[in-house]
C-alpha cells in the first residue's frame, strides 16, 4: 500500500508539471516494534511548461479542426494525463465521423533551447467503416426487435459515435437492462464491420407490497403487480415485447386508489404508442394536506402517441372521469359549497414533449420540456367546460464530477367557456408542499375560501425550482434547494403578486425497500396570517 501511495504522489506531481520529481520513503520501527513511522521525501525539481503543440499525419480533416479538440495549449503547465486525454479526444472525433480504425499516438520531447516540453500528436486515420450486420447478444427474454428499434445505427450506415452513444442511452432508458455494451467484429470486406450489441437483462416483473408514510398522505399501504417488458401474446411467459402492464391498489389514512394500466409503445410495428389507464381514487378531507372536502374519482384515460423526431414526441389523451365532491368543511362559504355533488368531465389533451436527458432515471445533463393544451366539454360533451394551457421545462447541468444542478419552470393558465361560469375546484392549480414550493403546507399558497380559509386553487400558476444535488455515495444524495411560486385566482392576475419563496436542505437515500426522500424547507415570505416556521417533507413508499 505504501508503494502505491508513493506512485500516486509521483503521478500527482507529474500532472502538475514536475516530471523530474523524485519520491522516496524511510520507515522506522519504534516503540518495541509496535509502530512504524513513515517518512516520505519529495524532491520536486523543475516545473515544466508546454512548448509547441503539433499534429501530423492528418489528411482528411484539417489541423485547425483537430486543434479544437486539444485542451493542452502552449504555455500551459505540462501534464502527461492531459496529453493522453487530448489524444483520446482526437480519436473520438474521428470515431464519430466513421473512422473507427483511426489511431492517435503522442510524442513528447524536452526542447533544450526553450526548456519546455513539446508535444506532437501522430494521427493514423485509416478508412471509413460501415455497418454490415447488427448482432444482438445476451437477451433471453427481450425480443430482438425491441432492441433494434432503439438503435440509431442500421446495416449499411456509416459508423457514428454520437449515434452509438444515443443508442446506449435509449436502451438504458427502457429499464429492461442493467448493462449495455457495443463491440465490432470483422465483416466481409475490410471497410465493413459487424456491430455487436451485448445486453444484460434486469428484472422487469414485480410483485410488491408494502407501506410508508408521507407528510401529504400520512400512513399508506399498497399492493402492486407490474411487468415493464410485457408480451400479451407470449403464453405462458408473457414477457419480451416491451409492453407495460400494472395493477396497483393503495389504501391509507386519507386516500384509497385502484389503478389498472396497459401501454403498447409500438403498434403495427411503427413508433406509435397506445395506452389505457382505468382508475378509482378517493381522498378524504384533510387540513394537513390542503383538501377541504372529500373527493372521489372514477374514470379512464386513452392515449395515442407518436415519435416525431429523435427527441420529440406528440401525444393525444382522452379522459372521461366522474367526480364526486362531498363532506365540505362546516364553515365553507357559498362559493365552496356549490362545488358539492357529482359531475362528469370529458376532455381531450394534446401534448408535445422534447426529452434530451442522458438518463430517464438519474439524469445528469439535458432537459425534458413539455407543453399541452386540454379542452374539457364543448365538442367532447360532459358537465364542465374549460380550457387549460400548461408548460413544464426541466433542465440538468453537470457542474463537477458528483454535482448536478436541476432547474425547473412550470406555468399554466385555465379558463371556463360556454355554460360554465368557473373551473371546478378539483381541476384548478394548487401550489405549496413537497412537489411545488417546500417549506409551506400542501396546496396552501394562493387564494383561500372566505369562510373556512381553506385553499381553493386558482386559474393561473407559476413555479420555479432550483436544486443542487450532491452524489455522496451510490445510495446517498444530498440536496440544496430554492423554490418559488404562486397561484392566482384569474388569468389576468398572472404574476401580479409576490412569488412565495422557500429554501432548504434534503437527503435522498436508496434503501433495499425503496427510496427515502426527506426535505426541510423554510418559508421566506409566507402569506399574511401564516407562520414563518420550517417544515419537513418526508416520503417513503416501496415494497418488500
CB-based contacts of 413, cutoff 8 Å, min separation 6: 388, 389, 459, 460, 461, 491, 494
* pLDDT at residue 428 in the model: 96
Question: Which of left, alpha, beta for 512 (phi over 0: left; psi -120 to 50: alpha)?
Answer: alpha
Positions in the chain whose pLDDT score sits under 70: 210-218, 287-290, 512-514, 540-544
* pLDDT at residue 210 in the model: 67
Q: Are 208 and 544 in contact (CB under 8 A)?
A: yes
* pLDDT at residue 506 in the model: 95
| C-alpha cell read off for 295 | 373527493
* pLDDT at residue 542 in the model: 46
The DSSP result for 360-384, as a single string, is: SSS--SEEEEEEEEEEESGGG-SS-
Residue 2: which of 23, 21, 29 has the closest Cα?
A: 23
Produce one character per residue of 433-442: b if its CB has 16 or more CB atoms within 10 Å, e if not: bbebbbbbbb
Q: Sheet harboring 103-110: ordered strands across? A: 50-56, 117-124, 103-110
Reported as type and span, the H/E element at residue 400 is: strand 386-400
* pLDDT at residue 402 in the model: 82
* pLDDT at residue 543 in the model: 38
* pLDDT at residue 266 in the model: 95
Amino acid at each position: 500500500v505504501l508503494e502505491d501511495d508513493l506512485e500516486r504522489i509521483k503521478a500527482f506531481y507529474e500532472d502538475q508539471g514536475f516530471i523530474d520529481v523524485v519520491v522516496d520513503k524511510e520507515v522506522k520501527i519504534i516503540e518495541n516494534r509496535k509502530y512504524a513511522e513513515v517518512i516520505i521525501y519529495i524532491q520536486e525539481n523543475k516545473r515544466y511548461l508546454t512548448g509547441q503543440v503539433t499534429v501530423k499525419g492528418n489528411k482528411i480533416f484539417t489541423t485547425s479542426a483537430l486543434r479544437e479538440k486539444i485542451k493542452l495549449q502552449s504555455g500551459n503547465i505540462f501534464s502527461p494525463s492531459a496529453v493522453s486525454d487530448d489524444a483520446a479526444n482526437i480519436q473520438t472525433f474521428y470515431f464519430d465521423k466513421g473512422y473507427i480504425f483511426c489511431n492517435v499516438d503522442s510524442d513528447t520531447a524536452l526542447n533544450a533551447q526553450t526548456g519546455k516540453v513539446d508535444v506532437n500528436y501522430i494521427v493514423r486515420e485509416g478508412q471509413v467503416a460501415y455497418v454490415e450486420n447488427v448482432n444482438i447478444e445476451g437477451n433471453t427474454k427481450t425480443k430482438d426487435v425491441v432492441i433494434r428499434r432503439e438503435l440509431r445505427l442500421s446495416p449499411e450506415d456509416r459508423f457514428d459515435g454520437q449515434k452509438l452513444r444515443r443508442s446506449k442511452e435509449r436502451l438504458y432508458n427502457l429499464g429492461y437492462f442493467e448493462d449495455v455494451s457495443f463491440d465490432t467484429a470483422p465483416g466481409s470486406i475490410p471497410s465493413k464491420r459487424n456491430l455487436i450489441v451485448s445486453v444484460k437483462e434486469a428484472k422487469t416483473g414485480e410483485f410488491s407490497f408494502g407501506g410508508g408514510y408521507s407528510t401529504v398522505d400520512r400512513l399508506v399501504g399498497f399492493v402492486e403487480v407490474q411487468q415493464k417488458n410485457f408480451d400479451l401474446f407470449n403464453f405462458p411467459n408473457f414477457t419480451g415485447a416491451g409492453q407495460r402492464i400494472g395493477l396497483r391498489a393503495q389504501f391509507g389514512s386519507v386516500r384509497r386508489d385502484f389503478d389498472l394500466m396497459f401501454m403498447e409503445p409500438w403498434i403495427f410495428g411503427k413508433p406509435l404508442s397506445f395506452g389505457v389507464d382505468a382508475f378509482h381514487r378517493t381522498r378524504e378531507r384533510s387540513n394537513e394536506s390542503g383538501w377541504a372536502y372529500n373527493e372521489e374519482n372514477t374514470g379512464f384515460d386513452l392515449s395515442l402517441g407518436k415519435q416525431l423526431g429523435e427527441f420529440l414526441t406528440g401525444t393525444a389523451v382522452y379522459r372521461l372521469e366522474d367526480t364526486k365532491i362531498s363532506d365540505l368543511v362546516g364553515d365553507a362559504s357559498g362559493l365552496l359549497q356549490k362545488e358539492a355533488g357529482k359531475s362528469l368531465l370529458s376532455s381531450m389533451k394534446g401534448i408535445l414533449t422534447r426529452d434530451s436527458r442522458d438518463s430517464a432515471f438519474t439524469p445528469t445533463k439535458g432537459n425534458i420540456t413539455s407543453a399541452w393544451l386540454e379542452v374539457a366539454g364543448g365538442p367532447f360533451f360532459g358537465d364542465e367546460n374549460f380550457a387549460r394551457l400548461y408548460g413544464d421545462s426541466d433542465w440538468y447541468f453537470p457542474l463537477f464530477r458528483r454535482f448536478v444542478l436541476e432547474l425547473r419552470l412550470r406555468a399554466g393558465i385555465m379558463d371556463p367557456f360556454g355554460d360554465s361560469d368557473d373551473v371546478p375546484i378539483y381541476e384548478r392549480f394548487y401550489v405549496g408542499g413537497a412537489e411545488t414550493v417546500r417549506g409551506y403546507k400542501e396546496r396552501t399558497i394562493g387564494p383561500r375560501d372566505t369562510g373556512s380559509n381553506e385553499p381553493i386553487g386558482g386559474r393561473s400558476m407559476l413555479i420555479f425550482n432550483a436544486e443542487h444535488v450532491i452524489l455522496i455515495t451510490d445510495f446517498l444524495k444530498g440536496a440544496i434547494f430554492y423554490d418559488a411560486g404562486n397561484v392566482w385566482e384569474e388569468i389576468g392576475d398572472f404574476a401580479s403578486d409576490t412569488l412565495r419563496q422557500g429554501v432548504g436542505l434534503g437527503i435522498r437515500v436508496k434503501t433495499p425497500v425503496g427510496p427515502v426522500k426527506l426535505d426541510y424547507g423554510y418559508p421566506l415570505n409566507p402569506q399574511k396570517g401564516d407562520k414563518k416556521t420550517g417544515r419537513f417533507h418526508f416520503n417513503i413508499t416501496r415494497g418488500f
